[in-house]
Chain A
Amino acid sequence: MMATTYPSARVFGVRVRSVTGMWFHHALVFKRTWLTAMTWYFIEPFVILVAIGVGVGTLVNDVEGVPYAQFVTPGVIVGSAMFHSIFECSWGSFFRMQKGVYETVLTAPVSVREIAMGDMSWAMTRGIITAICITAVAAALGWVNSFSGIGLLLAAAMVGVQFGAVGLIFAALAPNVHTLSLTFTVVATPLYFFSGAFFPISILPDWVEPIAWAAPLTPAVHLARGFITADLGLSHLFSALYIIGLTALLFPIAAILLRRRLVK
């Protein structure tokens, strides 16, 4: 047989095709499942947004100078992005690991780190998709404008990558599939409700406040809200840097743990 080689560009030692290849794999799956997946991408956050924004919103006055519906919109968007990315990289990645899909991918010239990057890139895409869906609804209701829309997608993308790494850490550590529910019960759900998405952090007891600010979803909610209220300051820049910093810390941990599980 002829020797065939398949050169592939590298960026800082990362084989680009490995990352786009994993993304392409996920996109092929999405192409087949998007219609049912939309219930989760779209209908669930839509229900939450309208129920809380309109329902609860009629009971409460303006919060931090904006109507309640507008106050909760950024939190619902980045929160939804978080749920999607953490699900993709915990359950999704765990099953790919169990079914030997990663093992097969690794027999191509792909590294474990690149698999992690590819999965996180898809987690980001899922975050963006759900953000687009919800932002469209919020825009139709007049709660966001086009400037804030772009900002919201950016925040959702950052959250997607960040919680993709969190999900991968869980997938790599989970002894069995049941353990993965912890990603929701211990991580995602508490973060969703105590990240300032539904009420300002300032109303929490003093000693809880710093914890709430340090929680990994809080900066994203803050950043997204800054775009919605078109009131961006230094604190939003810090929020963005905090997300990037956390991701930079979590990613190598995820890659190392995954490698420990896959390459023996």
Chain B
Amino acid sequence: MKSDGDTTVIRASNITKRFGKTTAVDGVSFEVRRGETYGLLGPNGAGKTTTMRMMSGLSPITSGKLTVAGIDVSSQPREVRNVLGVVTQQDGLDTDLTARDNLIAYGFIAGLSPAQARRRADAVLMFFNLTEKSRDEIDSLSGGMKRRLAIARSFMTEPQVVVLDEPTTGLDPQGRNRVWQELETMKEAGVTVFMSTHYMEEAAALCDRLAVMHHGKILDQGAPDELVARRAGPEVALVRVANGVRKDVVNWIENQGFNCRDAGPVITVTASNGQRPDLSGLQGVRISYRPSNLEDVFLSMTGVTLTDDE
């Protein structure tokens, strides 16, 4: 089952998913190495969830080839799910069961014996610091705890790869921090994590490498720092301008070949050549600079931000 001497665990080549006439994922290719945390970064509708659903067999692939631990997702969908632990966007917890029973029920259906499932549930609850919540009703848990419990459930079968679809979406800051801590712990334990997110802080903090996704395509992939250096340069410019001349200023910036996002109080300017944008020709505006981040990477490649609704 293990591809010998090869460190690649997930291999996607040219995978495509169509729903009728819409193409949700459009010929995407990437490779995830054993033990790394790999992220898909993109706004809602970029095709992240569909990519994850294809991996766990919830969405059959239209074309292309996707393998996990050498197992082909299309031809052996069941076998793939033996090596995956999946956390979908909905936590998928049954509110009719306690926290611990949710894990036991899942473990049993995944193939553990009842005794194994109980033992494993206790171990996993301890690992994720949820032991004292064992007997709690699901409805009494906070959003962050539910998410951690769902992540704990994905560990019931000692998966080779954990697939996390937007692990912190909808959580408050404390909840998010706790989930990040758990993901960090998982990483230290050597688990391969394949995750999606539309929070650039999350992608920067957790991912060893990531792919920037937009409209079903991967625009670029690499380590976060590498992507920032390559796509957004060291710094971006923030331009404050009076409303009367705003349009002229935007036109001027765009004519210089820079990417420009005109929203809110400031105009954010990125250069696509990996340099700090040179706006010295601009008169009558206030310009400041800040270090670039993944949000700017996305902006420089798409002209929109991760949180823009389209």
Task: Tell me which residues from 96 to 114 in chain A have a Cβ below 8 Å from any Cβ of chain B.
Answer: 96, 99-101, 103-111
Taking CB atoms, residues of chain A closer than 8 Å to B82 are 4-6, 109
* Count, chain A residues at interface, CB 8 A: 35
Taking CB atoms, residues of chain B closer than 8 Å to A109 are 78-79, 81-82, 110-111
Q: Chain B 61-72, CB within 8 Å of chain A: the 1/0 string?
A: 000000001000
Task: Tell me which residues from 9 to 47 in chain A have a Cβ below 8 Å from any Cβ of chain B.
Answer: 15, 17-18, 21-22, 24-25, 28-29, 32-33
Instruction: Closest A residue to B154 by CB, please name it.
Output: A107
Contact status A108-B106, CB under 8 Å: yes
Instruction: Closest B residue to A92 by CB, please name it.
Output: B96
Contact status B109-A108, CB under 8 Å: yes
- The interface-forming segment of B97-105, B169-177, B226-234, B276-284 is B97-105
Contact status A7-B111, CB under 8 Å: yes
Taking CB atoms, residues of chain B closer than 8 Å to A8 are 111
- The interface-forming segment of B38-46, B86-94, B286-294 is B86-94
Task: Tell me which residues from 90 to 141 in chain B have a Cβ below 8 Å from any Cβ of chain A.
Answer: 90-98, 101, 104-106, 108-112, 114
Contact status A4-B92, CB under 8 Å: no
A2 on interface, CB distance cutoff 8 Å: yes
Given known A2-B158, A4-B158, A8-B111, contact A104–B101 (CB-CB < 8 A): no
**Contacting B84 at CB < 8 Å: which of A2, A17, A96, A107?**
A107
B25 on interface, CB distance cutoff 8 Å: no
Closest CB of chain A to B105's CB: distance in Å?
4
**Contacting B105 at CB < 8 Å: which of A7, A18, A21, A264?**
A21
Q: How many A-B residue pairs have CB under 8 A?
A: 116
B157 on interface, CB distance cutoff 8 Å: yes
**Contacting B191 at CB < 8 Å: which of A1, A100, A107?**
A1
Contact status B158-A99, CB under 8 Å: no
Given known A100-B91, A109-B110, contact A28–B19 (CB-CB < 8 A): no
B205 on interface, CB distance cutoff 8 Å: no
* Count, chain B residues at interface, CB 8 A: 47
Contact status B94-A101, CB under 8 Å: yes
Closest CB of chain B to A214's CB: distance in Å?
36
**Contacting B160 at CB < 8 Å: which of A1, A18, A99?**
A1
A263 on interface, CB distance cutoff 8 Å: yes
Contact status A263-B59, CB under 8 Å: yes
Contact status B158-A25, CB under 8 Å: no
Bound CA span A106–B153, Å: 13
Instruction: Closest B residue to A264 by CB, please name it.
Output: B59
B1 on interface, CB distance cutoff 8 Å: yes
B247 on interface, CB distance cutoff 8 Å: no
Taking CB atoms, residues of chain B closer than 8 Å to A106 are 56-58
A186 on interface, CB distance cutoff 8 Å: no
Instruction: Closest B residue to A114 by CB, please name it.
Output: B109
Contact status B90-A100, CB under 8 Å: yes
Given known A4-B158, A5-B82, A24-B105, contact A29–B94 (CB-CB < 8 A): yes
Contact status A107-B88, CB under 8 Å: yes
Contact status A15-B59, CB under 8 Å: no
Bound CA span A263–B104, Å: 25
Taking CB atoms, residues of chain A closer than 8 Å to B150 are 104
User: Which residue among B58, B84, B112 has the maximum number of chain A CB atoms within 10 Å of its CB?
Assistant: B58
Instruction: Closest A residue to B91 by CB, please name it.
Output: A100
Contact status B108-A24, CB under 8 Å: yes
- Using a CB–CB cutoff of 8 Å, the interface residues on chain B facing chain A are 1-2, 19, 53, 56-60, 69, 78-79, 81-86, 88, 90-98, 101, 104-106, 108-112, 114, 150, 153-154, 157-160, 190-191
